[in-house]
Amino acid sequence: MKKFIILFFLGLSLNTWAQQLERVEPMSWWVGMKNPKLQLLVHGNNIATLEVQLSYPGVKLVQVHKVENPNYLFIDLEIANDAIAGKFPILFTKGGKKQAQYIYELKNRTQSISRVQGVSNKDLIYLLMPDRFSNGDPKNDVIKGMKETQLNRDSMYYRHGGDIQGVINKLDYLKDLGVTAIWMTPEIENDMPLASYHGYAATDHYKIDPRYGTLELYKTYVDKAHEKGLKVIKDIVHNHMGTGHWFFNDMPMKDWVNQWPAYTQTSYRDEPVMDPHASKADQKKMLDGWFVPSMSDFNQRNPYVQNYLTQNHIWWVEYAGIDGLRLDTYPYNDPDYMRDWAVKIKAEFPTLSIFGETLVNSVAAQAAFTGGNTVSRGFDTELPGITDAVLKNAIYEALNGKSGWTDGIFRLYSTLAQDFLYQNADRNVIFMDNHDMSRFYSMINEDIYKYKSGMALLLTLRGIPQIYYGTEILMKNYSNPDGLVRSDFPGGWAKAKSDKFTAAGRSSAENEAWNFIRTLANYRKNSPALQSGKMMQYVPENGIYTYFRYLPQGGKTVMIIINTEDQAKSLETSRFEERMGQANSAINVLTNEKINSLKTISVPAKTTLVLELN
């Protein structure tokens, strides 16, 4: 009986501590970071009534901040360069008596050369939505206690059951296709009542959504991808969080998010961010307005918010060994904070690749967001690259439009001619579609000739190419009104009618498309000219656009010829002597046919030729 009483009171004491100390974030850290400063967010019922103590060699308790909400403390630590990895208690006391403690761990940074490799123009990125790609573990399809408990594959707005294990199961498929890097839409917890599958309304920044897997499984995914020579890009969101976030209804302070007298949505206009004539009101609406009612807008001028987000992103890269970060809704973020963020991230991970989503309407606007451009706002954004939506639009115009002085194929030529506005256009991610827009195959009216030309352009132009899952099997549909661009990959679920991860499950047209991409993508993996070579383009003539990818120091030169018109053309090549040099024959990369004479090249209608010059 005595033993039972002791255990009862011990359990009561531990439970009291657990109620008072609910979270410490980041929950662990590393020694050897470039920035010695670390700010811990501590959350618990009335935690601000307690004092904080710690004692560990090389770790200094600098300051404890009490804020508006007594359920929070922010603890500033400084970690010396000579601090060693280990565990130590952080004590929370009252009147000199211990009320709670947290065992904090400092770890050694991982030195493996396969970690944080970076993503470059040598890579081919494959974008997928894990909920819609493959269901590798049906046991986690529905998790009790979460706000969304329906699994409904007949609706685009409910979860379908895809997960991280499903992606792991398909790594060999992606490698065979010629993919070298995988970008998944956000995997962290989105405990929202509706449309939680897309991942952009985070409810816990340090937790993988349990319907996708666990922290440990995510790290396993990164490790297995690296083992197969595949890099990993993590999609992160600075601008907003879901209104179901654990701290949304118990915020540390009122200005943790941007507050308005009445709900105010962003204008979605990027111009006021860089416009020298813009009003402050327009700038504020763009930057501080909420994206949608279910996504509250972080106040990135708040230093506690800044520390929380920046440390979270550092934590993920160091924890998992991620190779690149894609930054969602980049123009909607506070510019000064994003510059500071980039500087701090690059200091810790010099080889990490970073690119921001900038769905804007001009080359100049895109360039204004990239590093090296100090004209628009008077400072360098430090952002290496962007998603090149303007080039995407130009390719569509080249494929679908009629040639004019600035239309048709000339739009593509003119867009690339403005690359001088970028510090390095090779760091831009080029693409034809993604999860927010109509699929490429539908946008070209399901024309297989335009499809091949578009894919050939994507895989031979400057920049880092990205394809959206299913493009390789001619998946189609428009973004409105039904969101079918986020349909399931056929074969990713048990008892599927067809398995398009296999050649036997694909139609002849689908295999034709799949093999086209596979051939060119795998050629690209072994072509220094296409991976990192320079580009020289010629003014389009007679409906034909020609450009070259080459290495200045020598090596193979690749000649790309695009005929977007409805009739075959003959191309006289004498005007290309500057780049062709003494080449007198070529190999058609896509057919492996030899072309014995290059004086005149026959180009079929609506066709792009990719020729390796000899």
The DSSP result for 477-498, as a single string, is --STTT-GGGPPPTTSSTT-S-
CA 96 to chain centroid: 48
The tokens for 75 are 């603890």
Asked if the bond preceding 26 is cis, omega within 30° of 0, the reply is: yes
Sheet holding 23-25, edge to edge: 23-25, 37-43, 72-79, 59-66
The tokens for 569 are 């053309």
The tokens for 244 are 């179901």
Radius of gyration over alpha carbons of the chain, in Å?
27
Torsion, CA 127, CA 129, CA 134, CA 137, rounded to 10: 130
Beta bridge mates, 571: 601
Contacts of 322 (CB under 8 A, 6+ apart): 116, 222, 232, 233, 234, 316, 352
Tell me the three state secondary structure of residue 88: strand
Tell me the three state secondary structure of residue 125: strand
Return d(Cα 431, Cα 457) in angstroms, integer.
10
Return d(Cα 213, Cα 166) in angstroms, integer.
10
Contacts of 133 (CB under 8 A, 6+ apart): 162, 166, 167, 170, 469, 488, 489, 492
DSSP 90: E
Return d(Cα 93, Cα 420) in angstroms, integer.
60
Q: Where are the alpha helices (DSSP H) in 321-447?
A: 335-348, 363-368, 389-400, 409-417, 440-443
Q: Report, as residue numbers or ranges, the catalytic residues.
A: 328, 357
Q: Nearest CA to 237 among 194, 298, 196, 290?
A: 298
C-alpha triplet 177, 179, 184: angle, nearest 5°? 120
Tokens 């980039």 belong to residue: 342
CA 306 to chain centroid: 20
107 phi/psi in degrees, rounded to 5: -110, 165
- Return the sign of the alpha-carbon dihedral for residues 509, 513, 514, 518: positive
